[in-house]
Structures are given as C-alpha cells and as structure tokens.
Amino acid sequence: ALTGTPVENRLMDLWSIFNFLNPNYLGKQAQFRKNYELPIQRDNNQVQSTILKQLIQPFILRRLKTDKSIIKDLPDKIENKQYCNLSKEQASLYQAVVSEVEEQLEDSDGIQRQGLMLSTLMKLKQICNHPVQFLQDDSQFSAQRSHKLERIIDMLAEAIAEGDSVLIFTQFTEIGDKLSHYLSQEQHYPCYYLHGGIARKKREKMIEDFQDPESPPSVFVLSLKAGGVGITLTHANHVFHFDRWWNPAVENQATDRAFRIGQKKKVMVHKFITLGTLEERIDQMIEDKQKM
C-alpha cells in the first residue's frame, strides 16, 4: 500500500489505513480514539503521540521534496499569509448573515440545525471573496468592493512585472469565472481558466501553452479540485490560494503543481485570510491538522 497523505483531516484516517492492512494492529476503533485520537488532537498529549509514532514507524517511509539528498536541484518554497480586511460592503453583508442565522438557530435542531450551519459557512466564505459571489447578481466585479481582490491585483502586477507566471486556486467555479474574466478583460493579462467542465483536449492545450518556455508571463486560474492534482505547471513560481480549503493535504497538492521537479525558480505561496472572519478559524484548523 502506498499513500502520500496517511493523515488528511484527523488521526482516525491513520487507523482506517492500518486496520485495512493489518487488522487490529492499532486496536479497535473505539480504543484508538480513546488512547490516541482524543489525547493527541484535543489535549496535545506528547506521550501518546510518541507511543503512536513508535508503533507506526516500522511501516512508514517518509521522503520530503525539501530534503536535498532526495532532490538536489529543487528550489526553495516560501509560504506566507496575506491578511485582508472586509470592505464596508462585505462587513455589512457578513454581519447581516450572522445576525440572521443566530435567530434561525434558536428555532432549529438536529439535521436542520446542521444544514443551516453548513449553508451559513458557505455564505460567509462567499462574502469574504467578493460581494458579487454572495449576491449572485450582475453588479460590478471590482477590486473596490473586496480587499482580497484588491490585494491580489497588486501582487499580480508585481509578479508579472518581474517576469513571473502565477497560479490562482479557488474552490468556487463562480469566483474562478469572475477572476479569469476580470484578469483577462480588465487587467489584460494572458489568462487561462481550468475547471471540471473543461474538455480533455482543451485542458491539455491550455497546459501546453502555459508551459511553453517562450510564452509571456501569464495567470492560470484553477478550480482547486479539477486543477489541484495530476498536472505540471512549473512555468509558474507564484501560487495564490484565494480561498482556503479545510484539508491541508488538498492545498499542498495544489501548491505542488508548481513546486515539483522541473521548477527552476523559488516558489512563493500566498494564502489569503480575511481578518475577523471564519477564514481565521479555518486557517487555525489547517495549522492544527498539519501538526498531527
């Protein structure tokens, strides 16, 4: 068995793999949860963490791309977080959604309550991106209405001016549509957009054109799920995560479209977080998962 991501969201992922390969090696599911998952994830118990590492060590062979003894000529990867504020319009919409759901939660329970929370999280993430995504109307997709969009426009200008190409990942196809149109029509950048609805031949042609060493500095907007695995885009050395996904392994896989063998430049990874919103909570969850 081979996997590059034995733990994606929680330690129980690890138990599932081991129980398939060697049943009961890590005990029953309830035992594993009591002895390892809860103490390590909830209490950060280093003793139980060490014991678990010792148990699985004989079965783990870990190699990192950053290890120069494995890949000697791979450039460095530098990750940074770009903190943005809500615009006045975004802040007003955000507070309105929060106030509305607080009232609705008082009259809901069970599955209805869970569904309400999930739909609210989605709405808040949309607002953090741009009011247009939440409102679903034909109003202007402008940088003045979203500090996140304003920030990425400034950073793109710097990267393109330096002769660098860029990848922009988003989990939302609607924001991918808006971004690609805005960047190509308003900012006049060579821009590609890859999502799940793109036919294979067109997809391959876009990748080939983008990867052409003679092509000018370009922007490639990608759906996180459709463009996050299985392709090489080393012509880019800037990776922007416009919105964050709950699973760090998915984000890392997306980043690795540029950070892989064949990359000649230092890779800069920019992760956008809107202050005072659930995006800060998502970022903290990602950090906690990466520590496991």
> How much is the pLDDT for 70?
62
Alpha helices in the chain (DSSP H): 12-21, 29-32, 46-56, 88-105, 110-129, 131-135, 147-161, 173-181, 200-211, 224-227, 248-255, 278-290
- Please report the DSSP string for 202-236 in residue order: HHHHHHHHHH-TTSPS-EEEEEHHHHSSS---TTE
Using alpha carbons, list the distances in angstroms from residue 148 to 116, 122, 240, 271. 26, 17, 11, 11
> How much is the pLDDT for 28?
93
Q: Which residues of 245-270 are buried (b: 16+ CB within 10 A; e: fewer)?
A: bebbbbbbbbbbbbbeeebebebbbb
In whole angstroms, what is the distance from residue 223 CA to residue 228 CA? Answer: 7
> How much is the pLDDT for 71?
65
Contacts 24+ apart (CB under 8 A), 205-213: 207/231, 207/232, 207/233, 210/165, 210/235, 210/236, 211/235
Take residue 161 and report the two structure tokens written for it.
Answer: 């001016």
pTM metric for this prediction: 0.83
Per residue in 199-245, pLDDT (tens digit) is 999 999 999 999 999 999 999 999 998 887 789 999 999 999 999 99
Residue with tokens 């029509």: 185
**What residue ranges of the chain have pLDDT lower than 70?**
1, 64-72, 292
Per residue in 102-129, pLDDT (tens digit) is 888 777 777 888 888 899 999 999 999 9
> How much is the pLDDT for 148?
97
In whole angstroms, what is the distance from residue 123 CA to residue 256 CA? Answer: 29
Residues 6+ apart with CB under 8 A from 27: 35
